[in-house]
């Protein structure tokens, strides 16, 4: 029997993926050459569809990479390099990104850790003369989000600074204002409802220009080299063609982002209201302004957390483990588009019976 998973990544894949995988095999897509017309056609189609469904500006470039982690490194090497780069984060994923960058660019990488109940303030870092900011828009580790209004305050305070945003657990789930930043990236095994092994990397014209002037293609994953290839609907190396094909099929299938985001926002509000009914289990994030719409985190004692995860498992439901600091004292619930309303109803029924 297939488990119902609420893990926030790798997360539930769209059920249609089973058929799409079969179609990929039968149509011969799995063996096509990545310099062929057929591949270039798939690549063009998935880029056009993704831009349309997710409301990405026409002059932004969508590229394929292998993961969010690779995206961190590409940004460090192709964009941040000599810039004064400030990482704003409240938990583990944002911190990891900072640490990778710090190792590559030790003299120009700075951190601005903020409390998980708070939002960052532009004035706080002016003494660093920032040329670049890195935001983890949806912090998967604690279930917080940096809202578009907050990113806008940084854009307005530092109009010349580049802004890069990790949207791994929110891309395709919430409405993003892409004009507010220069780089947006995600891997596909979370909110996009696909198997792991592919990342999407979205750049403003300004980010592309900066990467071209900063370096030639010194590495296989230099941003300017990836860009040169995607201009021809190709990639520097043989990419994950199956996953690119699956992304194309999922993009054909899903609603435009306005509709999906509306549904998820309502579902998240319902989850938060529901989870306020218990005393031994409480929401990790008290401040509604910074609560995530796509990852919900519930806190309790270690034995309580272990108990509810086990009880769920007995009913074939998988709750997400806590992450990092919160490993043993929280569980997480993904509110991703691939999760069906009847699955949410089943989990709510289970939690109503067992939470106190
Ligand atoms: C999962 C996650 C990552 C890492 O993704 P990989 O595909 O393992 O590289 C990075 N950032 C955030 C916010 C994540 O949730």
**Rg of the Cα trace of the chain?**
20
State which ligand 1 atom lies nearest to the alpha carbon of 137. 13
What per-residue confidence (pLDDT) applies to 213?
A: 77
The finding on whether 66 has its CB within 6 A of some atom of ligand 1 is no
What per-residue confidence (pLDDT) applies to 249?
A: 98
What per-residue confidence (pLDDT) applies to 76?
A: 97
Q: How far is the CA of 187 from the centre of ligand 1 (A)?
A: 7
State which ligand 1 atom lies nearest to the alpha carbon of 71. 9
| Closest to 67 measured CA to CA, from 189, 161, 181 | 189
Mean predicted lDDT score pLDDT of the chain: 97
Q: Express each pLDDT in 262-315 by its tens digit.
A: 999 999 999 999 999 999 999 999 999 999 999 999 999 999 999 999 999 999
Residue 282 phi, psi dihedral angles, 5° rounding: -135, 165
CA–chain centroid gap for 313, Å, is 26
Q: How far is the CA of 39 from the centre of ligand 1 (A)?
A: 27
| Closest to 319 measured CA to CA, from 329, 309, 306 | 309
DSSP at 235: -
The finding on whether 169 has its CB within 6 A of some atom of ligand 1 is yes
Q: Determine contact, residues 221/89, Cβ cutoff 8 Å.
A: no
Q: Provide the edge-to-edge strand list for the sheet that holds 282-283.
A: 282-283, 295-299, 330-334, 320-321
CA–chain centroid gap for 79, Å, is 20
| Tokens encoding 323 | 């992450």
Give the β-pairing of 183-187 and 162-166. parallel
Distance CA 170, CA 153 (A): 20
Q: How far is the CA of 70 from the centre of ligand 1 (A)?
A: 10
What per-residue confidence (pLDDT) applies to 2?
A: 85
**Exposed (0-12), middle (13-18) or buried (19+): which is 6, by Cβ within 10 Å?**
buried
User: Cβ atoms within 10 A of the Cβ of 62, count?
Assistant: 18
Strand positions, DSSP E, the chain: 4-5, 61-65, 85-89, 109-113, 132-136, 138-139, 144-145, 162-166, 183-187, 199-203, 282-283, 295-299, 317-318, 320-321, 330-334
Ligand 1 pocket: which of 168, 174, 185, 334 to mutate (most atoms within 8 A of CB): 168
Residue 197 phi, psi dihedral angles, 5° rounding: 120, 15
| Beta-ladder partners of 109 | 85
**Spatial CB neighbours of 116, under 8 Å, sequence gap ≥ 6:** 90, 91, 139, 142, 144, 284, 285, 290
Q: How far is the CA of 93 from the centre of ligand 1 (A)?
A: 7
User: What residue owns the CA closest to ligand 1's atom 10?
Assistant: 68
User: What residue owns the CA closest to ligand 1's atom 12?
Assistant: 168
User: What residue owns the CA closest to ligand 1's atom 2?
Assistant: 168
The finding on whether 136 has its CB within 6 A of some atom of ligand 1 is yes
**Exposed (0-12), middle (13-18) or buried (19+): which is 72, by Cβ within 10 Å?**
buried
User: What residue owns the CA closest to ligand 1's atom 7?
Assistant: 67
Q: How far is the CA of 143 from the centre of ligand 1 (A)?
A: 13
CB-based burial, 132-162: b 16+ in 10 Å, e otherwise: bbbbbbbbbbbbbbbebebbebbbeebeebb
The finding on whether 69 has its CB within 6 A of some atom of ligand 1 is yes
Show the low-confidence residues of the chain (pLDDT under 50): none
| Tokens encoding 215 | 């370096």
Distance CA 142, CA 144 (A): 6
The finding on whether 140 has its CB within 6 A of some atom of ligand 1 is yes
Distance CA 355, CA 46 (A): 43
What per-residue confidence (pLDDT) applies to 46?
A: 98
pTM for this model (two decimals): 0.98
State which ligand 1 atom lies nearest to the alpha carbon of 70. 9
| Tokens encoding 40 | 């270039």
| Closest to 161 measured CA to CA, from 57, 86, 74 | 86
| Tokens encoding 25 | 């095999």
State which ligand 1 atom lies nearest to the alpha carbon of 187. 7
Distance CA 163, CA 145 (A): 16
User: Cβ atoms within 10 A of the Cβ of 111, count?
Assistant: 18
The finding on whether 166 has its CB within 6 A of some atom of ligand 1 is yes
């Amino acid at each position: 029997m297939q488990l119902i998973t609420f893990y926030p990544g790798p997360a539930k894949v769209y059920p249609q993926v089973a058929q799409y995988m079969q179609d990929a095999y039968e149509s011969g897509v799995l063996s096509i050459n990545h310099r062929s017309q057929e591949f270039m056609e798939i690549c063009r189609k998935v880029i056009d569809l993704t831009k349309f469904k997710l409301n990405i500006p026409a002059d932004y470039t969508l590229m394929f990479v292998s993961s969010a982690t690779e995206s961190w490194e590409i940004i460090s090497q192709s964009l941040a390099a000599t810039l004064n780069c400030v990482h704003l984060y409240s938990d583990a994923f944002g911190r990891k990104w900072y640490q990778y960058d710090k190792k590559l660019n030790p003299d120009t990488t700075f951190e601005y850790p903020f409390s998980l109940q708070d939002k960052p303030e532009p004035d706080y870092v002016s003494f660093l003369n920032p040329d670049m900011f890195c935001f983890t828009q949806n912090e998967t580790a604690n279930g917080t989000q940096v809202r578009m209004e907050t990113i806008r305050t940084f854009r307005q305070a530092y109009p010349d600074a580049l802004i890069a945003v990790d949207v791994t657990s929110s891309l395709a789930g919430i409405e993003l204002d892409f004009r507010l930043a220069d780089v947006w990236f995600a891997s596909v095994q979370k909110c996009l409802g696909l198997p792991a092994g592919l990342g999407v990397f979205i750049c403003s014209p300004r980010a592309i220009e900066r990467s071209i002037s900063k370096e030639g293609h010194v590495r296989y994953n230099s941003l300017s080299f990836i860009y040169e290839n995607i201009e021809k609907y190709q990639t520097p190396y043989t990419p994950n063609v199956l996953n690119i094909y699956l992304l194309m099929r999922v993009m054909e299938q899903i609603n435009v982002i306005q509709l999906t985001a509306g549904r998820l926002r309502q579902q998240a509000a319902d989850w938060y209201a529901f989870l306020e009914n218990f005393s031994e289990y409480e929401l990790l994030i008290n401040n509604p302004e910074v609560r995530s719409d796509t990852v919900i985190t519930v806190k309790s004692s270690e034995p309580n957390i272990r108990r509810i995860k086990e009880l769920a498992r007995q009913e074939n439901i998988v709750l997400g483990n806590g992450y990092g600091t919160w490993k043993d004292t929280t569980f997480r619930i993904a509110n991703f588009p691939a999760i069906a309303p009847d699955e949410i109803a089943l989990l709510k029924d289970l939690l109503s019976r067992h939470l106190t």
